[in-house]
Every structure is written in structure tokens, then in C-alpha cells.
Structure 1
Amino acid sequence: MSFCFNPRCAKPKNPDSNNFCQNCGSKLLLRERYRAVKFIGKGTYSRTFLAIDEDLPSKPACAIKQLLLTSQGNDKQASRQFKREAMQLDLLGKHPQIPQLLAYFTQDNARYLVQEWIEGKTLAAELAETGGFSESKIIELLEDILTVLKFVHGQSAIHRDIKPANIIRRKTKSFLNEFEEKDLAKRRDRLVLVGFGSSKLLPRTSPGGSSTIIGSAEYAAPEQLSGQAVFASDLYSLGMTCIQLITEMDLFSLAQGEEGLWKSRMVRPISVRLVEIIEKMVQPLTGRYTSATAILEDLASLQPIAWDCVEILTGVERVRCVAVSPDARVVVGGGEDSQVKLWDLGGQGGGDSLGNWMSGHSGGIQAVAFAPDGQQILTGSSDRSIKVWDRGTRKCVRSLGDWFAKHSGPVNALAISANGQFVVSGSQDATVRVWNLAKGKSLATLSGHLAWVECVAIASNYRYIASGGGDREVKLWDAESGKLTATLTGHEDTVQALAFGPDGEVLASASRDRTVVLWQVSTTERLATLTHRESIEAIAFHPRSPLLVAGDRAGCAVLWNPYTFAKLGEFSAHQAAVTALAFAPDGTILVSGSSDSSVKVWKLAR
């Protein structure tokens, strides 16, 4: 089909073979070479067509934008904007992720802009079709568009209208060159930035912006809405674009004093660190990122994957559990010899023992935990008792429960709420108990498991308690009421370890079936299954970065991104099974314990 360019033509559709419109007689070939084959859309002053260039043997597709002129002359601002778009594309279109300007001319009282045709879908259309974006898609968006903005800003230009409708995911086949074809493993659809009609060049000698208010209000930075756009204004708009793609929200609601509302509206879990990056992108100008490069650097450091062993701690036989103090100065560990050791990091010797033959445990130490105040240490043992120790004196302060309130089987797991008020324990007796730490009294017994409870965890917001064990199930309990809210199934062997992500929205369960399953807590949806070569004995989330460490029976520590589900790497941590893992609250230290009777302290490699 050939489409007539005459804006007054009542029947613009024509057969492909026509050179003149059968209705109005106008020429169908613009500049004797461009044939419109599809009407795409219409704006206030312009129309856009998909066309083919018949001057070239391959007849490539192109996009033609037509600015309509009246006999009195069109609106001056629209004309200036149209010319500006052509100038910007001429300047910036050399970048592979910006459409290239092919021609700019006036014909038959209309002005035309011909540019490279980008085959694909806008992110606005993609959002409508597939719903909220995952972390991997948001990172891909940021890496792609920030790279483009780094180039654009380097040319002293501001885009001023970044939004999902102006970002197109281009089909791979339409842009691969001969060099990229050779590296098929790295092929993926790239994002292209369009909509340069609102862009503006800034004088290189002045940081000042424009006095013109332009762009889409819901995405525009405050200074842009007051007519003073700067380079960082584009970063704000990109941040707002991310927020909409993550939440599917109407962004106008965020302009009404509800800027933090989006974090509770995420369709899929997003890591704390990525949320922090997006938050900084949409801060007021003084607190915002100043360059695309700065954001790219933060994205590059999202995942701390290289760890060096800086200390080896000894004194416990066949280590079963470890914990790090809130100030990251002390490590506590226990093992099958009933010893509880306390090591000052950077010190010498085998560490101090907690208690003696009278006050200590009479069975193997299965679980240890620091209270949030850093002064109390809890231990659970196969002797069925839970003891509370003072970090300073190394003495036992109390035991939880009396003779009649104890677990009737070995205590396999402990977890403490973030406020330090509650303790949760899991036992061989197939029950989960909730305790008041200060009073040492049992508050509730959670029953429902059909076999022993091997592991427990508490969400950071204390909304949920999770437990797992020999029945191969993970149970979610409402922390306030103690009621069972969900049973998560799918593991084929004992659930060995559980951990909530720092946002409380992702739960990881590890099993002897060689898998780690990631669950979205609010929906109980299985997000992913991470498969290992060996049985998984321990897991730990980094407190800020998107990093999950899993320790296996072969002594390896395997690193995963729990939001993109990508395996980041692995390293040999011990000579036998990694039975325990714990991060310091600030994420600077990772501690691992092993049945090889060693505890290792790892720090992020520089």
C-alpha cells in the first residue's frame, strides 16, 4: 500500500504500483524516493509514517515525520522544535542506540524529517503486555540508556523527554553487524532512545538550563518543570521511568507528596541496593547523581563477588554454626564437641569458650545467634536447651523456658527478630517455638511439620517466620498471630537452610536435593530454582547487595544474584562441607564454618 502525504486527502490509501494518488493526484514518492506504506500516528502539528527508500536496491525502511505548515505559517515553537530534533539527530545519530537522521527538507508546504526506522516495541507497550519489570530488565535498561546519555551529555545535549514511550527495544536482527554476528552468545535486543524533539544543546561554558518548560510532566525533574533543565534532569526522568516499569503506577500520584510510595508497590522483588540507586536518581537536584557515569559505577559494584580469606579461626570440632556480632568485631561458633567459642577478629589464639562443665551445654551446638544489641549471644544444642550468654563476661545469663517448657528434642535452629524482643527456635520434635527474650518465656508453639525442623528464619520486618525440615516443606507463619499462612512445596529432600532477603520479600530455601529455591513472600510464588552440583548445607543473603551465598557439601561457596537468578561465581572455601554462613550486618565480612573444624573470615577483595 502507498499512503498519500497530502494532509487534505480524504482517501490517502493507494495500491503499491501507483506513483500518484488516485484520489487527489498528489505525488506518492516524496523527493522521488520515499514511499509511505503505513500511517503510524499523529501529533498536534505532525504526522509520522513508515516508509521505504526506493532509491536503494534493498529498499530499507525508514520513518518520516511530517510537520504541517499553514498558509500563515505554522506555530513558531513547533517549527523550532522540529528543526531542533533534526539538528540533534544529525549531531547524535552516529550512536548505534540513537536513530540516524537520513534527510531533512521542505516540500509542498510541509517540512519533513526522515530518520532510521527502529523495528521493535516501546517499553510502554512492553509494560502493558508483560507487566512489571524484573531486576534484570531494569539493570539492562539502566546500563543501555545511561551509556546513551553519557554520549548525549558529552555532546552538551539534554534529552528532556525520557519515558517508556521514548525507549524502543530493537529487534536483534535489525542492527547486528558482521562483527556482532560472530559473537552470537552475546546477542540480545538493545534499547534505543528516541523522541529527540524536546532535546536541547547547552552552552559548554555554562551549566545553566533552558527557560522553556518542555517534556512529559510526570517524568520531568522539578528544575525542568521550572524551565531550568540540566544534565541531571535526564537522570531523574530515567529514574521515574524505572519506577513506573517496576510498579506499573500512575506517576502523577507520586507528585502529590507520596514519593516513597512506590517501594511498597513493586510487582516483583527488587534488591535493596538497586532501590537505593533509583531513589538517588529521583532526589532533589542537590542530592541526585550528577552524571550517568556515577550511576554506571554504582551499578558495576552492585554485586560483591570477589572475597579473600583474611583469618582462620580454630578450636571447635566439626563446626555446625557461626554468627557475627553487630559491630563486626567478634565471631561466635559452635560444633559437635559442645564447645561455644568466641573469637575477637584480628586477635591471636583459639578464642574464648563460653561457660564451663557446669554452665555449658552437654550436647553438640546446633545454632548460635547474636542479639541486635551485640551483648547477648544465644546458643541452641542437641541437649534440648537454649542458653543466653553475656558477651562481656562470657557467662550464661539464663536459659529459655523451664523444665516443662523446653523442646522435647534437640534444638536445631535459632533466629532473633530485628528488634531483639523475640527468639524463634526449631527442633527435632517437629515444633517451632516463639520466645520472649527478656523474660525467657515461651509465647507460642507452632505445630504443623510432619518431621523434624532443621531451620528457621524471621523476616526483617517481623511479618513472617519461616521454618523447614525433614518433611521437605517450607512453612510460612504470621509472626504476630502465629497462624500458618502458607506451605511451600517442591523440594525433594530435607530443607537444610532458610534465609529472608534484606527486604523481607524474598525467601531462599536450600535443600539436600541440590537446589536453592527463591520465593516471593507476598505471593508465595516460586521465583526461581538454583541448581547445584552438591547438597546445600547453608545460605546467607548479603545485607545490602543483591548477593546470595550458598555453601555445599563439597566445601564450595557458590555466589548468586537472587533477583536476576544469575550465577556469579564460586570458590573453594573449605576442605569439607560448608555447614554455616553469616554476613556481618554491614556486609563487610562473610564468615563460613565447616565440618573440617575451621571457621574462615572473608573480606571483599579490593
Structure 2
Amino acid sequence: MSYCLNPACQHPENLGDRNSCSSCGKNLLPLRDRYYIIRPLGGGGFGRTFLAEDQDKLNELCVVKQLVPQLQGTSAQNKATQLFEQEAKRLQQLGEHPQIPALYAYFKQDDYLYLVQQLIVGESLRQQLDLQGAFNEQQIWELLADLLPVLQFIHNRQVIHRDIKPDNIMRRQSDRRLILIDFGVSKQFTTSAIATLGTTIGSFGYASSEQMNEGEAYPASDLYSLGVTCFHLLTQISPSRLWTEYGYSWVKQWQQHLNLQLSQELTAVLDRLLQKDMQQRYQNVEQVLLELRTIEAFLAVDTTQLPSHTPSLTGNQKTRARSLQKNLPAVTTLNPRANFAWRYKLLLGSAIFLVLGFVGYKYWTSQQPSTLMGHRGEVNTVVVSPDGKTIISGSDDQTIKIWDLNSQKLLRTLKGHTDWVYDIAISADSQIVSGSRDKTIKLWRLSGQHRTLTGHTSYVNSVAISPDATKIVSGSYDKTVKFWNLSTGQVDTFKSHSREVLAVAISSDGKKIVSGSVDRTVIIWNLKTLKAQNILVGHTSDVNAIAISSNNQQLASVSDDRTIKLWNLNTGREIRTLTGHLADINGVDFSPNNQHIATGSDDKTVKIWDLSTGEAIYTFKGHQGAVFAVDYSPDGQTLVSASADKTIRKWLVPK
């Protein structure tokens, strides 16, 4: 798929390899014959952001920003252009720091300005907050230890960020470090510029009074925003709402919103960061660190586990750094004057965390998924290979991609379909079968060689393959189920459904196939007689997906009616109905031990259900679009999901 960069284009997604947009006619060639646009990541204000491939760097993923002012008037246009160029300059100036995205390119093409920068794979602190809930005190100490040196770095280069908030702080997936992003409204300050009124830019609730009311920005302004960010993470209360209701008076009573007891040390630090009067605040990062380095809890943060970075300093900055070094203890050294009682509490707390917190830690790590990006369209289907080494996915971009399960690196792209890939399945010997909107079924080897099966007269929405790769089942919008015997070449067609067939499955013993349809029924077919054995009625809307347990005893079906139904595969009797998703359910899979099932929904979540109790025991959040498919790894320790947000996510399953 190619994506049109014309902001006025009504249908920017283009199927196939095209040189011009089918909707507006705009050129679709890569920017500068190098940057291939994959999909939009978002945008607003004065720019749109896209995920792209750098074809000069072996298709390395990057971020492309396009200047598209959503403002009227020459003055507003000029200001937007100024801010966009400013972000490029700031990234070029500051990108040497490993916790700030690097600038790759800045150019003009087709009357639009473009900025290309490093892709940061991870989640923002806002997303982390939504996922895990309120932060605890230890996490705030860790945030301060990791982020304050970054602020010190940019302030030493005379730059004020002016928009620090959870959305603009990323936690990088690879090393869990905090990354400061979005320098579009940052401001250069000098001795002469400090007293000069600037443009009022920032986020309501997070920006300081001098920034919002007077247009002035100082290092202390960023520190105020940092304090508000900590408040938001601790309470989950929107500072924007408090600001709208109470103005800046809310900061005087910020502690009344806490639901946990903070130490006196952290309370004092946040209280000084959250002063409305700038003169009552810390004036710079050095003052904050000077105070923090007398606090045991801050010093106990294991900064030795964080990658080190020593920025190059000017002469005056080196003198100031040496002066601070003489007066401050090393961050990784505990204050020797700490009393025994505090040390005892610290050791006891650590022991309790290790003993009682292990399960919670495993749950937390499971909530931090690896994200696989590379498809240029919605990802409709995903499976894990029987050897547990690879992930295979199919997409609207007409391709099948094979990924390394452990490293998440893209190993190979299979091309051959001429329309959306709706479903894939894999046999025990790693033969892949795919069904497509191009009305064909393809049987693939991992090398890319494939064989095409034709016979359906409409979209092939679902496929399944027997473990020995001798039998294939397919379901189609032509309302039929087809059974393909690859050994004999015989094809049998079942026509009992009255509407489109959306789901098929085949039992591991090869004796039964099951199909689900828009007609709201599930049919169990006997392959020996080639007749319907049971017609299961109970769903009140489309049946989107089905799965059979590995012991061939149970069947699970999911529907647009937001329910999961469990059935006895042999008798057709309904065992249980599970509810909990807030929208259509699209995917289902049994765990290898048949004790759980996983489901994916239009509500953007993945759930794991305990079949003995019927309860949803885990809910994974992170996808930004509907979840179309889920699949367990053979060892049951990993779950993968495919989504309309054009990503695949890999989740660790809690034990």
C-alpha cells in the first residue's frame, strides 16, 4: 500500500504499487526518492506525523513530519513555519544526546516542509499511566533521576522545552530509558531574550504562569511542568481540568488529591517544583540535584544500570560542573550519615518487594508489549510457528511478513496476493496457507515459493490447515466452506450457511471442521460423512472467529454480540457464555494447556480468560485500533495480537 501525502486527499490509502494517488492524482514516489511513507502516526496543530522507511538505510524505520498548518492567516502560517523550522534546529542541536531523538533530514518538497527524525519505539508516560495506573513514589524518584540530566543538558544549551508533560516523555522499549520528545515549541533563551515577551505556547495545566500569562520561559518554567507531570502520574488527575476549574490556585492544595502517603522528602521537592511564583521555585536543574543528593531514596535509585552520557560542555559550563562535583556526593553512593533505622526499613522494604512483589512484577512486565511495525495496512491475522521461533502476519497491504519471535526483527516479506490478506494458518512443518480478498488461497513455503488454489467466487475470509499439511479448509463471502484434500486433489464444497462464512477451523485429529458465519450460526462438519453434524445456535450477531482445543473436546466462538461461547465439540452442547469485552470480538485462541483462551476485540484490548471460572484474568491494553486476531506460542508463554493500528504486539503471559 502507498500513502498519499496530499492533506486534502479524501482517500489517501492506495492499494498496490502506484506512482500516483487513485483519489487525487498526487505523486506517490518516496520523498527525495528515499523516504517511503508507510502510514500516519497522528498529527495536529501545525504538522502531521508518519511512519516511514529509509530506503537508503536498508529500509530502517523513521518518523516523517509534514508541515500542514491548521491555522488561518499569513501571521499564523508564518508562526507555524517558524515553529516547524525551530524543531528541526533544536533536534539538530540536541540530537547528540541518547535520550533525545536524532534529526536525519529537513527539506522542502512539493511546497511542503518535511522533517525526518529517529523513531522511538516505546510508550509515552501517558500510555504507561493508562496501562498500569497511578505511579508510586519509587517510580517518581526514578523519573527524576533519569529525566533531570536530560533537562540539564538542554538548558545548558540555552533551550527551554516549554511543553513537558506525560505525552512528550517516552519510555524506550529497548532499554526502558526516558526519551524527551516534541521540541516543536521549544525556545532559545539568552541574557537579552529572558526579559523579552515571547509567544504564549504550551499545554494548559502543565505550563507555568509566566509562560502562559506573559509568554516568558525559563529553566524554572520547565521544572514547574516537570512537577505537574509528577503530580499527574501520582494521582491520574488531569492538570488541565484542575487549571480550567481553579486556575493556578490548585497547586496550593495539590497534596489533597493524593491517594497515597508520600515521604516528606518527595513532598517537599514537589511542593517547590509546583510553586506558582517562579521565584519560589528551583531556578535550575542544578538546584534540584543539589537537594536530591541529600535524600536517601533518590540516592538509592540504581543509576549504574542506566547508560551513561557525558555531554560536551563549554568553558563556563565545565567550571560550573567541576564546582558542583566538589560539593555533591556521587549519585550512586549512599549518604554515610544515614541512620540505622532508615537502612533497616530500606532492606526490609526491598525484601518484601522481592518476596511479595514477584507476581506483580511479572504482571507488569507482561503489560509492556513488544511492538512490531512494518505493515503498511491493517494487520488482519497473525500466528506463531509451531517451533515457536517466528511470527507470521497478513495485512491489507497484500503481504505476509515473517518476524523473529525473540528479536522482533523482520526476516522476510512474502508477496503474491493482489488484494488484502484476510487470514493465515500454519502446519506442523511450517507450510503457510493464506486467504485473500483476491478470491484465492495460497500455500507457501518460508522461502516464498507458493502454490495458488482457486475456486471461491468471492473473498476468502478464513483458512485452516491440518497439522500434516494434507488438508485445507476455507471459508468465503460466497457463503461456502471448501475442503481441499491436497493429497488427492479433491475439493468438497459445503453450502449450509445462508450468509458469508467468516471463520473456519479443523480439529487436530482431522475428523471435524467447524465454520462460523454472518448468519449467526456455528456448524460442526463430519469429514468422514461430509455432512453437518451439529448446527450451533445462540449468538445474536455475526460469528467472527472460532478455535478448537488441542484435545478436540471444546470449541470457542466469538461474535459481534460481544460474547464468547464455549461448546462441546462432540455433542454441540453450549457449555458457557463469557462476557466482558465492550465491543465486537474478532479473534480467539486456546492456550496450549486448554486452561485459558485469549480474545481480541474492537475495544482495542486483548483478554485472557480462565475456563474453569469463566473470568477474564488479564486485560492487555496498548493497541490503538481494533484487535483482529490473537495466537498463543507453543509454550503458552507468549501471546501475539494483530490490529487495525497496523501493528503486531507480543505480550508475555503471566504465570
Give the helix-richer structure, 1 or 2: 2
TM-score, structure 2 normalization? 0.44
Instruction: Give the structure with higher Rg (CA).
Output: 1
